[in-house]
Amino acid sequence: MSDVSNDKIVQLRSQIARRKRFDRIFSSIGGFLVVLSLLTLGVLFVNLVIDGWSALTSTYQAKADQSGFGRREIIGKLIQEGSEWKLQLRPLVLTDVDDATLQPLVGKEVGVKGRMARAPESGFDPSSVGPIEGPVENYDLVGTLTRQQMSVIDSQGKTVQTAVYTLKARPILVDVSGIDPSKLNPGQDVSVDPKRALSGGAVVASNIVPLVTKNFFNSFPSRDPEQAGILSAWVGTLLIMLVTMVISVPLGVAAGIYLEEYAPKNKLTALIEVNIANLAGVPSIIWGLLALGLFVYIIGTGRSIQTAGLTLGLLVLPIVIISTREAIRSIPSTIREASIGLGATKWQTVRYHILPYSLPGILTGSIIALSRAIGETAPLVTIGALTFIAFLPPPPVEYKVPEAEWAVYQEALKANPSAPIPEKQWHFQPTEWLKSGFTVLPIQLFQWVSRPQKEFHYNAAAAGVVLLALTLGLNGTAIYLRYRLRRKISW
């Protein structure tokens, strides 16, 4: 008797063990895959950050009023001594010099004559450097010369020893006549064109251009990878996302509410429902084609921010509609019945109950939709996004010389170099930016990747980090909002 029951238990246990084996297999495979995907994401991110770090963190100085920074400039700092203004130049580096001629001058006062600029931030033809003879005023620059032995890599890739000379110039006087001194700031970094600025040992103040510190985020794309940045790309991305949101969220939420709360349940609405689900899966390039045909050619909205925003808005509209409907469906029908049962109209029920309670879901869905739109490249290339943009869309309000007057002035300038500069005026152009050309982060990234120089690839990686951070940030916000808002409402 007890043997039989023992048998039974043994059988039972082996059967349970057999069944449990699948649990073990599945949970270990699942766990492995989760770890793998996290690892992949981590490696991806770390790799991007390592590649892009130098581009992300490097800075350089550029003229405030121009996007690029000319190579034949010398830069320094404005200083004030009593009522006199002076320019303290950065040490000038002289390369490719004839060691034999310059070596005797090391440690002595030298003067520089002539204004030939040669290399970035270096400036002077070594042949114009010599010992001071006669009055100091005869020289453009006066300073001391130092020499350093350095290893450099030559064009054949060989390391060679070369002498590098550095000229520490004395501060030069700034000629401030005819200039409002309050516009000069002591300690400010400035740039001077040596060909125009230096005359008789003094710098003409009107030729001094202030410098600003530029980095990856506030620089335009450039031929020089070290100075190229993502300013136009992230501004474009942000503005297009704004338009996308303004279009897709109200429309999508309204459509979702209508379909869930108002539309009769019949064959037509069933068809619409299926269609929306299908639209969500249409390849994005198809949306680009549609937008090109409809917006650019027929309606004529141009290859502009508004077209891009419209296109992406339509692209993510199904996502917003679907998530809105899902959020509304998660509200139990008893709540709806309670509200209707108290004599509320449909709209009152939507306004006071359906919308507030589905808000977490709607918000999350909208953010997810945006984070999908932010990475879209294909439809924007199709409608004609620019790949190299060194301007920003016009701000809504601007203080500038009217374009027509500026053209007239340019004409007048040819005949009369001292023609009066036209007055600046306030311009209100609240929708002008919508019509501007654009680029976005993923397109900028792609453009950099397709360049042969390795330095551009670092820029691409840096843009990738920014894009990835934006997307992860958006998704993180969505998760956080869902967590925060759902906590208050649980059915």
Partner 1 sequence: MGMITDSSTVSSGSAPQLAHPPTPVPRISDPLKAQVESFNFFYANGFQALHGINMPIADNQVTALIGPSGCGKSTLLRSFNRMHDLYSKNRYEGRIILLPENINLIGPELDPIEIRMRVSMVFQKPNPFPKSIYENVAFGLRVRGETNKRYIDERVEKALRGAALWDEVKDNLDKSGFALSGGQQQRLCIARALATDPEILLFDEPTAALDPISTAKIEDLVVELKKTVTIIIVTHNMQQAARIADYTAFMYLGQLVEFDQTNQIFTNPSNPMTEQYLTGRFG
Residues that bind partner 1 (CB under 8 A): 264-265, 332, 334-345, 348, 352-353, 357, 488-490
CB of 338 to partner 1, least distance (A): 5
Helix axes 355-374, 454-488, angle to 10 degrees: 170
Nearer to partner 1, 16 or 489 (CB): 489
CA distances 468 to 377, 379, 449, Å, are 14, 19, 16
Q: Which tokens sit at 386?
A: 């620019």
Two tokens at 281? 């899966």
Rounded to the nearest whole angstrom, what is the least distance from the CB of residue 258 to partner 1 in the complex? 15
CB of 340 to partner 1, least distance (A): 6
Tell the smallest beta-carbon distance from residue 328 to partner 1 (Å). 15
Nearer of residues 332 and 476 to partner 1, judged by Cβ: 332
Crossing angle of the two packed helices 454-488 and 2-57, in degrees rounded to 10? 130
Closest distance of CB 348 from partner 1, Å: 5
Count of all residues that appear for the chain in the document: 491
* CA 438/CA 425 separation, integer angstroms: 26
SS3 166: strand
Report the candidate in 135, 133, 165 with the shortest Cα–Cα distance to residue 149.
165
User: Which residue's CB is nearer to partner 1, number 251 or number 263?
Assistant: 263
d(CA 466, CA 485): 28
- Beta carbon nearer to partner 1, 178 or 264: 264
Residue closer to partner 1 by CB (options 157, 264) is 264
CB of 325 to partner 1, least distance (A): 17
Where b means 16+ CB within 10 Å and e means fewer, 388-399 reads: ebeeebbeeeee
For helices 231-257 and 305-329, the axis angle rounded to 10 degrees is: 40
- Residue among 135 and 343 whose Cβ is closer to partner 1: 343
Distance CA 93, CA 419 (A): 39
Which one, 264 or 420, has the nearer CB to partner 1?
Answer: 264
Give me 92's structure tokens.
């000038």
Cβ distance to partner 1 smaller for residue 27 or 269: 269
Minimum distance of partner 1 from residue 326's CB (angstroms):
18
Q: Please, what's the b/e burial string for 145-170 (b: 16 or more CB within 10 A of its CB; e: otherwise)?
A: bebeeeeeeeeeeeeeeebbbbbebe
Q: How far is the CB of 339 from partner 1 (least distance, A)?
A: 7
> Which runs of E-coded beta strand occur in 26-90?
59-63, 74-81, 84-89
